[in-house]
Structure 1
């Protein structure tokens, strides 16, 4: 099919996520056909820098030889086998490797429960926390504390602890009640836990960075303070590392930066390097042990998915973790983080239409000044960037950059230069003469 035929078919049969289809039909979006490294090509042969790691997951870029080889080798063995009543080598090895790189501290994550995306990983953590208290006889602990502007996925349980009204308020009649608190407000959180802690099963949060909220950064020490308050009031702590995990904040997991180990931790996105759907919920032995008992006691965690621990996905994930070690990905990231900070400060920050730049590691949010909602200025910036050869994404009028960790210095310079030009062009401001562009 030609590109025109593919676009026509797309408009006839597809419904895209987080997309107003009426507007989609009026635009000619690229149809991506292949990728390599940090570059994507569409069906017309046009190349684009992947500035968002294909929705924050391709940590080592596209077509990495080691991950390609691992998936191909697994296809020759078995593509899928259920984890219900069976196991397989890949699931066992991956769980061991995940636990080996998990955050360390005053407790230890010792068990891995697989699912297939970040939302389900968080849903599992919520259900585990709820059932754990019920088994212990504390049936009054049914509430969850969550942060304003938080995002933990789009299944009903995950939406129930979501704090972005644009995404979540429509579905409130379908959801269970939670307690919303302001991020960064330690005193406010303590008041809530002091007054209602004995009815709370768990607190759930994105550590250090609230991604979908527009890269909201938590103040230094907040994560550690939350851990201490959860311990003080006997509340379980769930950390959602779906977006922040696998090097995005500069360390393997964001929790490490404040020496925090949660009771439950969800991971996905970068777990397989963007190759296949896979997620995991990591738990401490204390949580796991609470579910042990005779069959007739019905302490079993009655939850599972058809593709739980899929062998192909596990093979990709094992290879992804091996690449982190073999290529010293985190060590090689340090100079890139310094370069990125310099480039943003010198090129993007001077633009009159930029209000603020928020960054932690390779997670960047560039907030524009106020524009009318109908202008869709964030979207206009992404279109302008696309014309110049880069894929970026908006969260409202916050432009997100989150390139693969493997991006080279020259590619990083080009990505920031294109972003600078795109913001200037879309918002109608001049690029200062001192700013270098592509």
Structure 2
């Protein structure tokens, strides 16, 4: 199919994420991808290839077409591509669950495999609500989070996204009414703010009888604003939840598997939640899969209830292809010194983005692990910013007031520098 015909059909029939129908901005057509480069069907701004600064929404941590991941999919395809998980099991899923238990913080022991990050949050919420139902405390049915968060686009996850500044204000009055603390004070290295600590403590204490769980993105709030906060607030939440008999859920869909410089963001605080959500990089960006892990306390509580099962079962739960490539991705990540790569990228992003602080209209520049963020004092001109980055040979996906990058871990120094050039170009254009 020629490119023009493809784009015409795309505009007529394909509804892209966070876009109107028909689309207002013509997408770039990708014909293949290799390493950290996206090869386009036709040149854009003179470039046939763009360096991927997004890891395909933070998932493709090993880049594209990695021979070990390709082979894992091919080998599993020769055995079976899928089999239902109800009443059956198979080695790829069992190996994956055991591996996740091994590498996540204690005492997480039980793994529910789901289809996507948003569904893993749905499962986490269901676990928490059913836990309290099973213990004869049905009044504990609300969730508490802090503003500036994002947990997915299905209904319960939307209810704990930022209710005003996020994408889901349209659903106010339709979604369950949850409790929101103020945004955590900014700054990964900032000291704990006593006034904010009192604010959290007061909210949790006053609402403990109705709170099923507190759910937050640890250390990095992703699509809600790319904000960083101190791990000290995670330790405070763990203490408050224990004191007031409230479950603690960490959404590590974006931060898991090394992105922040630790294998899991919870590791920065040296603690474990009661429930942990994983996704995105779980399969190295090859196939959709997510996981919700919980402690024996949560699983045992549900199992003692009037309904002693977790009534949730996605059709493609535990998909063998996805599980096989997830195992291969974890093998690839953990046998190399991934922390050296993350630190190298962090250094490159700090050096390359430093000049953005002097640009007009830039409010803040921040870097943590393999995450670089330039925040403007006004909304991004997304069309112009994307075009400017492409002219620099880089693929970026700005949103709201943010131009940011989360490159694959294999990105070499020269390409990190090019990504920074793309971010600067986008910021100057916006």
Give the TM-score range, shorter chain: over 0.9
1: CA distance between counterparts of 2:425 and 2:131?
52
TM-score when normalising by structure 1: 0.91
When structure 1 is superposed on structure 2, of 377-386 and 227-236 the one drifting more is 377-386
Q: In the aligned structure 1, how far is the partner of 2:183 from the partner of 2:375?
A: 19
1:352 aligns with 2:363: no
Query: What's 1:54 paired with?
Result: 56
SS at match of 1:238: strand
SS in 2 for 1:395: coil
Do the aligned partners of 1:116 and 1:278 also contact (CA within 8 Å) in 2? yes
**SS, match of residue 325 in structure 2:** helix
Match of 1:268 among 279, 290, 295: 279
1:126 CA drift (Å)? 0.4
Cα separation, 1, equivalents of 2:399 and 2:378: 14
Counterpart for residue 220 of structure 2: 209
Partner Cα separation in structure 2 for residue 164 and residue 18 of structure 1: 17
**What are the ranges of 5 or more consecutive residues in structure 2 without an aligned counterpart?**
185-195
Partner residue, 1:236: 247
**1:136 Cα offset (Å):** 0.6
- Residue of structure 2 equivalent to 1:404: 408
Q: Please state how far the C-alpha of 1:198 moved relative to its aligned partner.
A: 1.5
Counterpart for residue 70 of structure 1? 72
Return 42-51 or 402-411, whichever deviates more: 42-51
- Residue 103 of structure 1: how far off its partner (Å): 2.1
Cα displacement (A) at 1:332:
2.8
What residue number does 1:30 align with?
28
Residue 287 of structure 1: how far off its partner (Å): 0.8
Q: Is the 8 A contact 1:213 1:395 kept in 2?
A: no
1:245-284 to 2 correspondences below 5 Å? 245-284=256-295
Q: Deviations over 1:385-432 (max 9, x none)?
A: 1222111111212112111111111110111122223322x14xxxxx
Over aligned residues, Cα RMSD in angstroms? 1.5
Kindly state the Cα deviation for residue 358 of structure 1 after the two structures are TM-superposed.
2.4
Superimposed CA distance per residue, residues 173-228 of structure 1 (whole angstroms, 9 cap, x where no aligned partner): 32112111113232111111111112100000000111112211113411111111
Is 1:7–2:7 an aligned residue pair?
A: yes
**Contact 1:265 1:282 (8 Å CA) reproduced:** yes
C-alpha separation in 2, matches of 1:276 and 1:390: 24
How far 1:378 sits from its partner (Å)?
4.1
3-state SS of 2:137 partner: coil
Contact 1:214 / 1:365 at 8 angstroms: preserved in 2?
no
- SS of equivalent to 1:204: strand
Cα drift, residue 293 of structure 1 = 4.7
In the alignment, is the contact (CA less than 8 A) between 2:101 and 2:108 conserved in 1?
yes
Task: Please state whether the residue corresponding to 1:173 is helix, strand or coil.
Answer: coil
SS in 1 for 2:143: strand
Alignment of 1:197 with 2:195, yes or no, is no
Q: Which residue of 2 aligns with 1:394?
A: 398
Are residue 149 (structure 1) and residue 160 (structure 2) matched?
no
Q: Who is 2:127 aligned against?
A: 128
Q: For residue 303 of structure 1, what is the aligned residue in structure 2?
A: 312
Distance, in Å, in 2 between the alignment partners of 1:330 and 1:275 is 22
**Matched pairs, number:** 414
Which residue of structure 1 lines up, in the alignment, with residue 187 of structure 2? none
Written as runs of structure 1 = structure 2, the 5 A alignment for 1:38-187 is 38-44=36-42, 46-104=48-106, 108-165=107-164, 166-184=166-184, 185-187=196-198
Higher deviation after alignment, 297-306 or 46-55? 297-306
Contact 1:140 1:199 in 2 (8 A): yes
* Change over 3 Å in CA distance of 1:113–1:349 after alignment to 2: same
Cα deviation for residue 261 of structure 1 reads 0.1
Q: Once the two structures are superposed, what CA deviation does each residue of 1:305-344 show, in whole Å capped at 9, x if it has no partner?
A: 0011100000110000000123322233222222221222
Aligned match for 1:329, one of 315, 328, 338 = 338
- Mapped to 1, the partners of 2:82 and 2:278 lie a distance apart of 21
The alpha-carbon deviation at position 164 of structure 1 amounts to: 4.5
- SS of 1:341's equivalent in the other structure is helix
Preserved contact between residue 404 and residue 423 of structure 2 (Cα < 8 Å): no
- 8 Å contact 1:249–1:361 — kept in the other structure? yes
2:132–2:140 contact (8 Å) kept in structure 1:
yes
